[in-house]
């Protein structure tokens, strides 16, 4: 009996972990923020921080970690005009974000 319960819990856990990704893709739900995350690390490192932690969309700021404390770094005005939040799913913001990502790729690939 206990073994059956363990097997059922394992299957339930596997379904709960694996199922959301295909459902999101099938439903066409965009994750426009996903593109920013790998290159946010590079931007944080340019400001002397270890890594990117959280994106504060309303203020257009990245929260960067130094291991012991977090500090916010504002995205450049070319991506987020001052006083405005950014919805990366809007076409204009998506284009600005794509240019920012290309700049971060160039910096990352420098010798």
Tell whether 23 and 38 lie within a shared domain. no
For residue 68, what are its two tokens?
Answer: 């012991």
**β-pairing verdict for 51-56 and 61-65:** antiparallel
* pLDDT for position 27: 45
Tell whether 60 and 6 lie within a shared domain. no
- Mind listing the pLDDT tens digit of every residue in the chain (111 residues)? 556 665 555 454 444 445 445 544 544 445 677 777 778 888 898 888 999 998 888 888 899 998 778 899 988 888 888 767 777 778 888 888 888 888 888 887 887
Tell whether 42 and 24 lie within a shared domain. no
Whether pTM > 0.85 for this model: the answer is no
Q: Which residues, including other chains, have CB under 8 Å from residue 15's CB and lie 6 or more apart?
A: none
Tell whether 25 and 56 lie within a shared domain. no
Strand ranges in the chain using DSSP code E only, listed in sequence order: 51-56, 61-65, 70-74
Collapsing DSSP states into helix, strand and coil, what is residue 62? strand
The total number of structural domains in the chain stands at: 2
The parent domain of residue 74 ranges over 31-108
């Amino acid at each position: 009996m206990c073994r059956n319960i363990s097997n059922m819990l394992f299957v339930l856990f596997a379904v709960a972990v694996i199922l959301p990704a295909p459902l999101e893709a099938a439903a066409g739900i965009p994750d426009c923020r996903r593109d920013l995350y790998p290159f946010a690390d590079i931007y944080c490192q340019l400001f002397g921080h270890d890594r990117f932690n959280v994106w504060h969309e309303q203020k257009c700021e990245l929260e960067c970690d130094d291991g012991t404390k977090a500090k916010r770094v504002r995205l450049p005005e070319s991506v987020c005009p001052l006083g405005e939040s950014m919805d990366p799913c809007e076409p204009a913001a998506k284009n600005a974000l794509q240019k920012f990502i290309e700049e971060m790729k160039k910096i990352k690939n420098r010798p």
